[in-house]
Amino acid sequence: MVALGYTMVYGIIQLINFAHGEVVMIGAMVAYTVIVTLTSANIGLHPILIVLAGVLVAVPACMGVGYTLERTAYRPLRRAPRLAPLITAIGLSIILQNLALIIWSRNPMPYPQIIAAVPYHITGNPDGATITNVQIAIIITSFAMMAGLLFLVYRTRLGVAMRATSQNQQVAGLMGIDINRVISLTFVIGAGLGAVAGVMVGSYYGIAHYQMGFILGLKAFSAAVLGGIGNIGGAMLGGLLLGVIEAMGAGYVGDLTNLCQLSSWSDALARRCADGAYLTLFGSNYQDVFAFLVLIAVLVFRPSGLLGERVSDRA
Amino acid sequence: MTGATQVVPEGRHAPPLALLSATDITKRFGGVQALSEVSFTINHGEIYGLIGPNGAGKTSLFNVLTGIYIRDAGTFMFDGEPLQNLKPNDVAARGIARTFQNIRLFANLSALENVMIGRHVRTHAGVWGAISRNAGTRAEESAIQQRAYELLKYVGVEKRAHSLARHLAYGDQRRLEIARAMATEPKLLALDEPAAGMNATETASLRALLEDIRRDGTTILLIEHDMKLVMSLCDRVLVLDYGKKIAEGPAAEVQKDERVIAAYLGGEVSLNLKGT
Amino acid sequence: MKTFFDTTKNPWLVKAGFVLVIACLLLLPWVLASVGTAWVRITNLAILYVFLALGLNIVVGFAGLLDLGYIAFYAVGAYVYALLASPHFNLHLPFWIVLPIGAAVACMFGILLGAPTLKLRGDYLAIVTLGFGEIIRIFLNNLSQPVNITNGPQGITLIDPFRIGSFDFSKRETILGLDFTGPIKYYYFFLIVMAVIIVINIRLQDSRIGRAWEAIREDEIAARAMGINTRNIKLLAFAMGASFGGIAGGMFSAIQGFISPESFGLTESVMVLAMVVLGGMGNIWGVIIGALLLSFVPEILRYTVEPIQKAIFGQMLLEPEVIRMLLFGLALVLMMLYRPAGILPSALRKRELETKIKA
């Protein structure tokens, strides 16, 4: 889902929006605040409603942030050499991270697990693979949003405008499409998706942290590239694939190479494998290396990604 | 005075007449057949024109020749040796230099620096030379600068030697690109629409420059749309249409060829082109 | 009065200026030491950042390749030094052997990284280099099992300082009646190295290779058409930048005495990038100023902001670390929006204008 945000923006203006990860983080944080406030206010709302409220506040907040970023920082640089918006995006990413740090404090904040996690056994075997209702909800929501997005892009006028702009900005403008509005909307929609993703990530891992955006963003970008940057179906495919690769890799590489294994295996190992600030959040170490390796491999061997179109430089 | 000389000293046997010969060059992009079995020959010391309607494949041919695209089939023989799928920088080292349809100068560097960069392929100083500035490197640097000035003078841009390339007038930019290409000491100079956007005066002085270049021993391959220029300047001409060769020969003959006329005008037409 | 400072009319001014600057540089550590010895240490670190910024300047500024994982080379250099000159493996090679080894290893990593990736376009290269930087850091953090190479997050301690015979750079001594503390000794050494590195950079820029880098930066396709082997030249930029990083890393190990993977993260890579951007990509003197600014200003802030905040608000609202990062982010964004050429006016423009006046 985060990958979708990246791929949409890249498809339209060929910019890797580094700050996107931070937008997701903001989504998680804002929702967190709302949820915590509502929960502790003890109004007696059903937990699902509380989460929904969190999402409903987070989405417009993130959309606002996305819009602001685009207007103030990216739009003036639309004609600048490619390096410039990239550097700006990095700068924005830093600013957002630190602002979040100031507003929400440095510490990882526990996401209130107000929806009781009810595990369902998939294979009927009580010790086999399980899936909780929260995870099911996440999966359903994700697919619903992706479907919605596909509908938007392929079946609506706005979608056509977006696709036209991504193909050829100048001509699209000449055809009467308001480029600025389309680009802004792309950012905003991407941000909205990111917000929902942020809430889901927060719920799933149980923590919200000002630096969560960074790793998330990188992995999502890898997913987007894997599927073919600029290609929405690709982003979805890439996201799913990357998730699977990462999970399997993290699980099995440990067995194969006897390096640090997942901390669930033993406390002593978990302690030994404690990492620098960026990674403690998700208890992973070499796991993240996978995302990067996939990214590098894809870029080197198949830059167009699995579903992507060739973007080549012509003389 | 300048450029590679093709003058044959007494007593040596003459080099083969053809500098570049192409056989059955083919290139397709997805569904589009950009070039279909194109064959032609360019002789030493001539000015060879490449013409055809828009989209005929002229620039594609350039790109295939200079290594920017890889051909699907066919061979090139350059100066007696085959030109195997070389990368653009190797092609330049072999002696084919080009200019671009849309002018690709190093915009934020000065005119002088642009030409000096053209000397890169014929010089050697590496990192050690750069850092130590030993005698050999210093001699080479001063030779590079001197040669660059000479070339700027040759094309007539020496007064703007220190101006940034992007600040030059359009005509000067085109000339600068030629000077830069000349700096690589090419045997074959391939120019992609050098007269595009020029008025009559500018075109006339461009023609003078190209004739100077030919006189001084460099063979020229020229894509152009300006028919007057092509007919008055080129010894022989190749005509492409939809990726296929439809005529090759002396300019005067090609100009009367019915197929050529039809290609440009889109039908069976008999045209009286008054002597150009 | 205006004409007094006109350097074209009074060329001796340039020489006088030079002498003045050098005199200041030589006296600086004593002045700083009187304020507090920490400041000499800060200055030394600032000089290391100048090395890093100049190294990255070759990659980003001269050749136009965006490297977001540059700090990895710093890390490699630091760890090579630490492993070869500390109790960790009980090797105690002298610094004049280890520093070149560190540079060579970093150079090798630069080539390793560059070979498959330099054909990528700008944005992709940026991400890949970022990934590389992170991978290096993760490995440094985890190479403590099954064989303890890097000692993981605890890092390596008790790293040897520079020593020449019996002259130990970390010991406090009195020479010629002056009190030379460890940092002050290192300062002079670094000053000399900095002079050498600046000369190397200037010479590189104004050379056949430097022009080739600029050509690639401006228009890679045209550069290739003119016979420049872009792949090798780009690799060269990477390799040189990496070597500089490696040397700086070794020095870092020595003056700190202790290193850990924490000091080599994305934040640091971005910081060095910010220095290059602030100074003007490609502009050697600008980059030096950028590095010095972004090294000193946060430190100065740290000493002034705390008491001010406590006085006004009664407590720390914004930690200096956070302010520093905010400043970096802002520097990047604002520079790109309003002054992409860097704080110093572009040297190229200057050249153009000057020759117009002469002609």
Where is the domain boundary, B125, B154, B184?
Answer: B184
Domain-embedded: residue B101: no
- Average pLDDT of span A21-48: 66
Geometric angle at alpha carbon A188, from A182 and A192, rounded to 5° = 145
Q: What is the CATH number of the domain that holds B22?
A: 3.40.50.300
Domains of chain C, CATH where assigned:
35-293 (1.10.3470)
In contact, B49 and B238? CB cutoff 8 Å: yes
State yes or no: pLDDT of A254 exceeds 60.
no
State yes or no: pLDDT of C149 exceeds 50.
yes
A-chain residues near C261 (CB < 8 A)? 276
State yes or no: pLDDT of C93 exceeds 60.
yes
Q: What percent of chain C has pLDDT above 70?
A: 90
> To the nearest whole number, what is the mean pLDDT of chain A?
66
Whether residue B262 is found in the same domain as residue B192 = yes
Q: Does B109 touch chain C (CB under 8 A)?
A: yes
A-chain residues near B63 (CB < 8 A)? 315
C-chain residues near B163 (CB < 8 A)? 352, 356
- The pLDDT tens digits for C191-223 are 999 999 999 999 999 999 999 999 998 899 999
Nearest-CB residue to C332 (from A87, A288, A289)? A87
More confident residue, A263 or B56: B56
Which residues of B, range 82-121, sit inside 8 Å of A by Cβ?
100
Whether residue B174 is found in the same domain as residue B211 = no
C-chain residues near B66 (CB < 8 A)? 225
Whether residue B75 is found in the same domain as residue B212 = yes
Q: Does C318 touch chain A (CB under 8 A)?
A: yes
pLDDT range class, residue A286, cuts 50, 70, 90: low
- The pLDDT tens digits for B217-272 are 999 999 998 888 888 899 999 999 888 998 898 988 888 888 888 877 765 444 44
Domain-embedded: residue B240: yes
B-chain residues near A315 (CB < 8 A)? 59, 63, 68, 100
- Closest alpha carbon to C54 in C358, C288, C329: C288
Q: What is the pLDDT of residue C76?
A: 93
More confident residue, A75 or B200: B200
Q: What percent of chain A has pLDDT above 90?
A: 0
- The pLDDT tens digits for C241-283 are 999 999 999 999 988 888 888 888 888 888 898 889 888 888 8
- The pLDDT tens digits for C66-82 are 888 899 999 999 999 98
Whether residue B41 is found in the same domain as residue B26 = yes
User: Does the distance separating the beta carbons of B106 and C208 come in below 8 Å?
Assistant: no
Least confident of B141-155, C20-34, C84-98, C344-358: C344-358
Least confident of A246-250, A294-298, B30-34, C241-245: A246-250
Q: How far is CA A123 from the centre of its chain?
A: 30
Q: Does C242 touch chain A (CB under 8 A)?
A: no
C142, C294, C313, C328, best to mutate vs chain A, most A CBs in 10 Å: C142
Residue ranges making up the domain that contains B151: 107-184
Nearest-Cα distance to chain B for A192, in Å, is: 38
Most confident of A171-175, C282-286, C324-328: C282-286
Q: What is the pLDDT of residue B145?
A: 93
- Identify the closest residue of chain C to A271 by CA–CA distance: C153
Nearest-Cα distance to chain A for C1, in Å, is: 40
Q: What percent of chain A has pLDDT above 70?
A: 41
How many interface pairs between B and C have CB atoms less than 8 angstroms apart?
Answer: 116
More confident residue, B276 or A35: A35
Q: Which residue is listed with tokens 């008790």? A: C158
Q: What is the pLDDT of residue A315?
A: 30
Q: What is the pLDDT of residue C334?
A: 84
pLDDT range class, residue C352, cuts 50, 70, 90: low
Domain-embedded: residue B100: no
pLDDT range class, residue A279, cuts 50, 70, 90: very low
pLDDT range class, residue A271, cuts 50, 70, 90: very low
State yes or no: pLDDT of A275 exceeds 80.
no
**Quick one: tokens of A240?**
């799913």
- Identify the closest residue of chain C to B181 by CA–CA distance: C226
3-class secondary-structure state, position C207: coil
- Identify the closest residue of chain C to B94 by CA–CA distance: C227
Q: What is the pLDDT of residue A109?
A: 64
Q: What is the pLDDT of residue C26?
A: 84
Whether residue B119 is found in the same domain as residue B129 = yes
State yes or no: pLDDT of A270 exceeds 60.
no
- Closest alpha carbon to C43 in C31, C55, C29, C56: C29
Whether residue B51 is found in the same domain as residue B125 = no
Least confident of A80-94, A208-222, C129-143: A208-222
Tally of structural domains, chain B: 2
Where is the domain boundary, B169, B184, B199?
Answer: B184
State yes or no: pLDDT of A272 exceeds 50.
no
Whether residue B69 is found in the same domain as residue B133 = no
In contact, A292 and A221? CB cutoff 8 Å: no
Subunits in contact with chain A (3 or more CB pairs closer than 8 Å): B, C
Q: Within chain B, which residues score under 70 in pLDDT?
A: 1-16, 266-276
Q: Does C227 touch chain A (CB under 8 A)?
A: no
State yes or no: pLDDT of C229 exceeds 90.
yes
Whether residue B63 is found in the same domain as residue B197 = yes
Whether residue B175 is found in the same domain as residue B190 = no
Whether residue B190 is found in the same domain as residue B82 = yes
Domain-embedded: residue B147: yes
Q: What is the pLDDT of residue C58?
A: 93
- Average pLDDT of span A211-222: 70
Least confident of A22-31, C41-50, C318-327: A22-31
- Under DSSP, the state recorded for B8 is P
Domain-embedded: residue B69: yes
Which residues of C, range 145-164, sit inside 8 Å of A by Cβ?
145-146, 152-153
Whether residue B86 is found in the same domain as residue B197 = yes
C-chain residues near B141 (CB < 8 A)? 207-208
pLDDT range class, residue C2, cuts 50, 70, 90: low
Which residues of C, range 167-226, sit inside 8 Å of A by Cβ?
221
Sign of CA dihedral C176, C178, C183, C187: negative
Pairing of strands A207-208, B47-51: unpaired
Longest dimension (CA), chain C: 71
User: Does the distance separating the beta carbons of C348 and B125 come in below 8 Å?
Assistant: no
More confident residue, C2 or C263: C263
Q: How far is it, in rounded angstroms, from Cα C214 to Cα C202?
A: 14
- Identify the closest residue of chain C to B95 by CA–CA distance: C227
- pTM reported for the whole predicted model: 0.81
Strand partners, B222: B49, B191
**Quick one: tokens of C259?**
């290193």
User: Does the distance separating the beta carbons of A214 and C121 come in below 8 Å?
Assistant: no
C199-203: which pairs have CB atoms within 8 A and are 24 or more residues apart? Answer: C200/B131, C201/C54, C201/C57, C201/C58, C201/C284, C202/C284, C203/B130, C203/B131, C203/B133
Q: What is the pLDDT of residue A98?
A: 80
Least confident of A68-77, C27-36, C110-119, C262-271: A68-77
Most confident of A150-154, C28-32, C104-108, C143-147: C104-108
Whether residue B180 is found in the same domain as residue B190 = no
Where is the domain boundary, B184, B204, B239?
Answer: B184
